[in-house]
Amino acid sequence: MPERFISAAIQPDVETFDTAHMAAGEPGLPGSFRWKGQTLRISRVVRSWRETGPCDHGSSDIYVRKHWFECETDSRQIVKLYFDRRPKAGQMKKRWWLFSIREHEEKRCRENRS
């Protein structure tokens, strides 16, 4: 199965936040999220990166807009998540987003043989 575009707000399990990153001023990636009645448990971070953009008020400063994480879940899915530093007005609680999901290669091979 190819990568599926999702683009949905997800609810982090707050008791699982990585507080070490939060102390450094970055979002602490939670160990699990809730989405559509299921729990996505993060087993490892494959990679992470930042998306930046210019200041909206005319200065030459560059600001971090989103923190991206590509992670593997305990069910071997690869998910892309991001933390939005600038949520739209009225959506302050929608800061964590599930961008996409793809099944792990091994899992897809087994399903195709069945």
Report the distance separating Cα 4 and Cα 6, nearest Å.
6
Query: Are the CB atoms for 80 and 68 separated by under 8 Å?
Result: yes
Name the percent of the chain lying above pLDDT 90: 61
Res. 112: pLDDT tops 70: no
pTM, rounded to two decimals: 0.82
Residue ranges of domains in the chain: 4-113
Res. 94: pLDDT tops 90: no
**Tell me, what's the pLDDT at 73?**
97
- Confidence category of residue 72, pLDDT binned at 50, 70, 90: very high
